[in-house]
Amino acid sequence: QVHLVESGGGLVQPGDSLTLSCEASGGVFKYYPVGWFRQAPGKEREFVSGILWNGVVTEYADSVKGRFIITRDNGANMAYLRLNSLQPEDTAVYYCALGKLDRTITIVSRRPEQYSYWGQGTQVTVSS
């Protein structure tokens, strides 16, 4: 059973940066695609970014493209999401998730139902 723990959230001002971390245990992390999602109060969970097992193929929501950067360190069983130029609309609980264990996958899925394992989330609040 895979276990995910996110960390790195906090209260920041507009324009600030944060790095979220996702630590995985209990499975072969290096073969899973990783997705980051977020959920703001009263809104549905939305895709933010994803990265395939090889760390080469990445995908971003239009709202964060050019500001957020996703990376992974398979040797450390870690995934990261660097959040730059944060804005109030980025305020949400951020979740990391692992997708289907399949190295033949060539496209990052944006659908939450395609992800099997989820962390507990970390709160990011952007406010002046």
Place of tokens 């895709």: 47
pLDDT tens string 42-86: 999 999 999 999 889 999 999 999 999 999 999 999 999 999 999
Place of tokens 């549905």: 44
What is the Cα–Cα distance from 71 to 36, expressed in whole angstroms?
11
Contacts of the segment 43-49: beta carbons below 8 A, 24+ positions apart: 43/92, 45/95, 45/112, 47/110, 47/111, 47/112, 48/81, 48/94, 49/81
To the nearest whole percent, how much of the chain has pLDDT over 90?
88
pLDDT tens string 76-87: 999 999 999 999
What strands lie across the sheet with 3-7, from one edge to the other?
3-7, 18-25, 78-83, 68-73
Residue 28 reports pLDDT greater than 90: no
